[in-house]
């Protein structure tokens, strides 16, 4: 796996992009975000600290969600 890069270098992410890969971004609380290169990066609302580092990781395989349950008849 690729080494972590200091988040100060995030504006350089366009030159680091590769097909089939996304960026993993993490903060001091070890919260993580998988994202494409978006400058400036908008972090989730519940992050309590700013991003600290990032790295290029393989894009996860898509997965299907479970089917919705059938509606129940009113009683």
**What are the extents of the domains in the chain?**
5-58
* Whole-number Å distance between alpha carbons of 32 and 24: 7
The pLDDT tens digits along the chain (75 residues) read 579 999 999 999 999 999 999 999 999 999 999 999 999 999 999 999 999 999 999 998 887 777 888 888 776
pTM of the model: 0.78
To 5 degrees, how large is the angle CA 19–CA 25–CA 29?
160
Long-range contacts of the stretch 30-38 (C-beta < 8 A, 24+): 34/59, 34/60, 37/13
* Whole-number Å distance between alpha carbons of 37 and 15: 9
Q: Select from 67, 55, 40, 47 the least CA-distant residue to 3.
A: 55
How high is the pLDDT of residue 60?
Answer: 87
């Amino acid at each position: 796996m690729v080494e972590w890069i200091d988040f100060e270098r995030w504006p350089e992410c366009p030159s680091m992009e590769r097909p089939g890969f996304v960026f993993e971004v993490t903060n001091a609380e070890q919260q993580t975000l998988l994202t494409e290169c978006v400058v400036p990066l908008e972090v989730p609302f519940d992050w309590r600290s700013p991003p600290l580092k990032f790295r290029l990781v393989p894009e996860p395989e898509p997965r299907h969600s479970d089917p919705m349950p059938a509606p129940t008849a009113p009683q």
